[in-house]
A and B are shown apart, each in its own frame.
Chain A
Amino acid sequence: MKKYNQKIMPVMLIAALLIIWEGAVYAFHIPMYVLPSPTEVMKALTEEAGVLMGHGAVTVAEALMGMGISLALAVFLGIVMDCFPLVRQGLYPILVVTQTVPMIVMAPVLIIYMGFGIAPKILTVVLMCFFPVAVSFCDGLAQVDEEYVNLVRSYGAGKLKSYGLVKIPAAVPALISGLKVAATYSISGAVVGEWIGAQKGLGYYLLRVKNSYMLDRVFACVTVIVFLSLCMNGVIRLYQYRALPYMRRK
């Protein structure tokens, strides 16, 4: 019953908010260019479904490539930082500082350096996603009980093998936690990159319809961005469910 309530309550709350929103738009005669009603947003969604899917596919592709690069970089750097404490001491504060730079400032700079192609969008995703993945993985590696490592070492495993047998598998749950956060950021990262300069993608579409004061389409696009972000998060959760059965049983 408690589990059922946990699932049904957010749905009920969202439904209530949508009804209030719809009612308020009609009751106060709010024009569409100020605030479209949920039904107008839904109408725009169905009308623009094909266009949104096309732009969405571009954004998802950029997000996936950015996530892949972030993951590979985070795993590589995580292991290097764990192996060499001096590298960790030097690099970790720099990683933190990179997160304080607003991405809306960095994106135009990347376009100046890299042009209007796909590269600056992917790099924007990387800059947004790398940090949560790298920090989670580094912390996961650092928190591995040294007794496990001693055990495999006493059984004859070298340092490299002890990473494969103990440290990396033990840090995988932490890595996946970071990936869940990064997956949610990845679509927004790609949209920010596209917003600054692109010819395809949801960010480009968003900028175009915003400039035309088509707020129903802006809201429709935002709905798609939220949906895709949740889907990315869901994919990681599904992977966790399938790949880490021992966590499922807890």
Chain B
Amino acid sequence: MKLKVEELTFSYENRKVLDSIGFAVDEGEFVSLLGPSGSGKSTILKLLTGVLTPFGGSIAVDDRPVEGLSQHFAYMPQNDLLFPWKTILDNVCLYGQIHGSLEAMRREAKASFPEFGLAGYEDSYPSQLSGGMRQRAAFLRTALCKADILLLDEPFGALDVITRGEMQDWLLKIRRKLNRTVVLVTHDMDEAIYLSDRILILNQSPARITHEIVVEGRQRDRQWLYGQGELRKEIYDRIMAGVREVKTYDSSMAPQ
């Protein structure tokens, strides 16, 4: 399932947010969109899901144009957005409830609970779970969607550093089993390096993709990540190169 985005533009009222965004993602590939806060990364995902309508450009999956709400994408938002009034089992089966396949999805979900570290919490409510468990539940809800491409919008952004690291390790492990195409939005360089096959760097709004970095090394672990100083520096330099420079005028130096 190949995703192709071309010349995508979008504005919020009169403020242009995206300026001619274009990229492609191959089947099974894990691509990260990395950029400063407010650069429009999340907007790209909302355009892909069809929640927002682009002003211009096109989105295609397997060379077929995609418009409006599409079954190709499963979206995981920044906050877990678990419904507080539903049990965890009912929360993760949201897709089944919408599409009239609740019972089948319940069976599938129950089988996946141990793998997602949620065994025994089927009948619990979100308020009874830790932050990491809630994120895993939200990820299971996304994974259970019958979609080919997972869109993850800073899924671990709200977690503390330790839990975030654990969740990243867990995602790497689970990703091999899921074997889905993933587009991850993040502003965390380490997260992008650790998880992605490719990193697309966006500049500040109106955003464009300014650079693309292919991350080598399939056998990843934390030790490997700590050794990526050069790559981290390169990404940082590229992000900063895209940021508009702000010069301060020192009025005391001005001629009297």
Contacts of A153 in B (CB 8 A): 50-51, 69
CB-CB nearest in chain A for B96: A155
Q: Are A246 and B85 in contact (CB under 8 A)?
A: yes
B49 at the interface (CB under 8 A from A): yes
- CB neighbours (8 Å) of A157 from chain B are 98
| Pairwise interchain contact B79-A155, C-beta atoms closer than 8 A | no
Known pairs A157-B98, A244-B85 / 10 extra A-B pairs, C-beta < 8 Å: A153-B51, A153-B69, A154-B50, A154-B51, A154-B69, A154-B75, A155-B95, A155-B145, A165-B94, A246-B85
**Given the contacts A155-B145, A156-B69, A147 and B79 also touching, CB distance less than 8 Å:** yes
**Given A153-B51, A246-B127, CB of A148 within 8 Å of CB of B95:** no
Is A172 touching B85 in the complex (CB atoms < 8 A)?
Answer: yes
14 A-B pairs within 8 Å (CB atoms) are namely A147-B77, A150-B49, A151-B77, A152-B94, A152-B98, A153-B51, A154-B73, A156-B71, A156-B95, A169-B85, A170-B85, A244-B85, A246-B85, A249-B125
Chain A proximity mask over B27-66: 1 for CB below 8 Å, otherwise 0: 0000000000000000000100111000000000000000
Q: Do residues B98 and A155 form an inter-chain contact, with CB atoms below 8 A? A: yes
Give CA–CA (A244, B87) in the complex, Å: 11
B236 CB–A CB distance under 8 Å = no
B127 and A155 contact, CB distance less than 8 A? no
The smallest beta-carbon distance between B91 and chain A, in angstroms, is 11
Contact of A148 among B74, B81, B99, B125 (CB under 8 A): B81
Q: How near does chain A come to B114, taking the closest CB pair, in angstroms?
A: 24
In angstroms, Cα B119 to Cα A20, docked, is: 61
| Size of interface on B: residues with Cβ below 8 Å to A | 25
Separation of A82 and B126 alpha carbons in the complex (Å): 27
Residue of B nearest to A169 (CB): B85
Question: Closest Cβ of chain B: how far from A5's Cβ, in Å?
Answer: 27
A residues 232-247 in Cβ contact with B at 8 Å: 244-246
Minimum CB–CB distance from A26 to chain B (whole Å) comes to 55
Which chain B residues border A170 with CB–CB below 8 Å?
Answer: 83, 85
B99 touches A156 (CB 8 A): yes
Decide yes or no whether A208 CB sits under 8 A from chain B: no
Number of A-B contacts defined by CB within 8 Å? 58
Please indicate the chain A residues that have their CB under 8 angstroms from the CB of B126 in the complex.
246
Task: Report B-chain residues with C-beta under 8 Å of the C-beta of A145.
Answer: 81
Query: Does B228 make an interface contact (CB < 8 A)?
Result: no
Give min CB distance, B66 to chain A, whole Å. Answer: 13
Whether B71 and A249, one on each chain, are in contact in the complex, defined by CB atoms closer than 8 angstroms, is no
Is B128 an interface position by the 8 A CB rule? yes
Most chain-A Cβ atoms within 10 A of its Cβ — which of B75, B85, B99, B128? B85
Tell me if B84 counts as interface (CB < 8 A to partner A).
yes
- A246, B125: Cβ atoms closer than 8 Å: yes
A3 at interface (Cβ–Cβ under 8 A)?
Answer: no
When distances are taken between beta carbons in the complex, the residues of chain A under 8 Å from B112 are none
User: Within 8 Å of chain A (Cβ to Cβ): is B210?
Assistant: no
Closest residue on chain A to residue B124 by CB atoms: A249
Q: Which residues of A contact B145 (CB under 8 A)?
A: 155
- Is A250 located at the chain interface by the 8 A CB criterion? yes
Q: Is the CB of B83 within 8 A of A161?
A: no
Which residues in window 32-67 of A have CB below 8 A to B? Answer: none
A244: nearest chain-B partner, CB-CB? B85
Is the C-beta of A166 less than 8 angstroms from some C-beta in chain B?
yes
Chain A proximity mask over B96-131: 1 for CB below 8 Å, otherwise 0: 011100000000000000000000000001111000
Closest CB in chain B relative to A170 CB, distance in Å? 8
A250 touches B127 (CB 8 A): yes
Known pairs A155-B145, A244-B85; A165 contacts B97 (CB<8 A): yes
A249 B127 Cβ-Cβ under 8 A: yes
Bound-state CA distance A153–B145 (Å) is 13
Do A165 and B98 have beta carbons less than 8 Å apart?
A: yes
| A169-B83 in contact (CB<8A) | yes
Question: Complex: how many Å from CA A100 to CA B97?
Answer: 44
Complex Cα distance A155/B74, Å?
7
Which one of B81, B127, B128 contacts A151 once the chains associate, using CB atoms below 8 Å? B81
Which residues of chain B are near A169, meaning CB under 8 Å?
Answer: 83, 85
A165 contacts across to B, CB distance below 8 A: 94, 97-98
